[in-house]
Structure 1
């Protein structure tokens, strides 16, 4: 099997495995192991009393470099390297499980099991959902589903096809750091500063690919793509993150439902920018969002894989 075939097949197989298997909870996932390591690093920094901002920056650079080196060594193992590459490619994608869990939570809401849905949604979002009504819970599901199309799928897939599994896992490392440390509260505002900024840089191009790919799929699905086209860039710029608004604004306008507004994080109320037109997230709109995200992921994967394989082949 030549290199171009390998370059093409590994991302494709990883895509299929992610949608088919998701993230089995019984199997130790690299991100969970990475999270424990990052907790240990954070505890060590606290124990030595050095500058949080400096040590946070050193952690971003140093740990990413270690991850790059470790993955490169694993990929170089004769015969096993290709299997390790395939596993790391599959494990680096995180959309299949998210869609499945969001779908299950939506079914609970449809069945009137509000408290069961609340518990399920609390495990998917960082906000406090204890006081949300049914409409608020549906909106929280819509926001996390659309935002994670980029964070959990398009961005890691982008780095998989551009840089291979090593680069993909550098992105996953930074993204995990941002998820764990990137809060702008008193505890993490300094320590997570460089993690948040680095994640913003790495996700910049993929987020825009995500938004425009959703727009294209929305037109195919005969959603309100004209409104999305007219308002995407304006609404995407409203969010605190330079990237999160792209998939969120596209989804909101395509499906005619609002995102943003008041939300509670770690006991503090925050007024997030309002994105999208007047409208609430109904059961039907959530189902259509699942379809939109699924097809946008597939189209993005095919586009990125074919494009970079052709670029690679042209340079041979």
Structure 2
């Protein structure tokens, strides 16, 4: 282990977090996740056209794409001179807190100027559920749900694997996460094909989701929010969700800020009753959403400091 290796290992995640915070995700700029999405769309068409066994096809696709991602990123980041810059870019591109907050603020802006349809349209870019019939309260609740859930999926979990395993580990996680977001629905169309991605995503996000939740509680305590009640109430709510992970940051956020999550939701034309998280019947206000932006970014910074200081040392031991 050389001094140069140590400096690169610690500096790449730090620079990636700073770039994500400042730049977000510039529009019309090539992004690896979009490439993964296109590959998955093409593979799905091929799988269905040749009528492959969907269960086996799901596992084989997951294995090939994760191995391909690890190999490609390892090759690119090992290139002389360019490797360090590519490490920073690929690490930054795998983090999405800056983008998530920027896009969420667009929804809030549309509400502030009274454009309900505009807010629905902006929100539809962030979620897979139907937003066309949501009223102002429903838009705020949906925004709170997606922001709290994706704080883990889009930032904490990829940063966890970046600091522990390097850019290669981050992009293995991003492949699994992207595949799960596209194929991991429990519908007739995707239940079998997306099984592999859903299960592996559950495993990979298990620890980061809980780290996210308890980091939110730490920030909530510093902000003098309802942290005592949240600590007592959120674990039982978190376990109500079908996902073993999504409920943890969502329930923690709901109890900290005092707003309900869950209830009736429309996905792909089908009504789904999701478990109620947080204080029942409490609507999300403009002020609560503003506080959510603040604690989300603060949690991101807290987790970044912890991960960047601690996890690279475990990487050296591995």
* TM band (smaller chain): over 0.9
Q: Which residue of 2 aligns with 1:139?
A: 141
Q: TM-score, normalised by structure 1?
A: 0.97
Given candidates 283, 301, 305, the residue that maps to 2:286 is: 283
Structure 1 residue 306 and structure 2 residue 288: aligned? no
The answer for the alignment partner of 1:33 in structure 2 is 35
Mapping 1:252-291, distance limit 5 Å: 252-278=254-280, 279-291=282-294
Could you tell me whether the CA contact under 8 Å between 1:110 and 1:283 is conserved in 2? Answer: no
Distance in 2 (alpha carbons) for counterparts of 1:144 and 1:49: 34
| Per-residue deviation, 1:107 | 2.0
1:162 to 157, 164, 167: 164
Query: How do 1:1-316 and structure 2 match up within 5 A?
Result: 2-278=4-280, 279-311=282-314, 315=317
RMSD of Structure 2 on Structure 1 (CA): 1.2
The alpha-carbon deviation at position 8 of structure 1 amounts to: 1.2
Residue deviations 1:171-197, cap 9 Å, x none? 000000001100111111100011111
> Whole-Å Cα distance in 1 between the matches of residues 114 and 286 of structure 2?
12
- Distance in 2, Cα, partners of 1:27 & 1:3: 30
CA offsets per residue over residues 11-68 of structure 1, 9 Å max, x none? 1110111111111112111110111011111111112211101101111111111111
- Taking the aligned partners of 1:116 and 1:223, their CA distance within structure 2 comes to 31
Give the C-alpha shift of residue 293 in structure 1.
Answer: 0.3
**Contact 1:260 1:274 (8 Å CA) reproduced:** yes
Q: How many pairs align?
A: 315
SS at the partner of 2:191?
coil
- Deviation string 1:136-175 (CA, Å, 9 cap, x unpaired) is 0100000000000000000000000000000100000000
Equivalent residues of 1:171, 1:202 under 8 A apart: yes
SS of structure 1 residue aligned to 2:274: strand
Q: What's the TM-score, normalizing by structure 2?
A: 0.97
CA-to-partner distance for each residue in 1:208-249, whole Å, 9 max, x for gaps? 100010010110111100011001211110111000001100
Separation of aligned partners in 2, 1:224 and 1:82: 43
Q: Is residue 164–residue 315 contact of structure 2 (8 Å, CA) maintained in 1?
A: no
Question: SS of 1:260's equivalent?
Answer: strand
Contact 1:93 1:157 in 2 (8 A): yes
In structure 2, stretches of 5+ residues that fail to align are none
Q: Is the 2:260–2:284 contact (alpha carbons within 8 Å) kept by the matching residues of 1?
A: yes
Per-residue CA deviations over 1:65-97 (Å, capped at 9, x if unaligned) read 111111111111111111111100000001111
Distance 2:289 2:173 in 1: 29
Distance in 2 of aligned mates of 1:58 and 1:309: 31
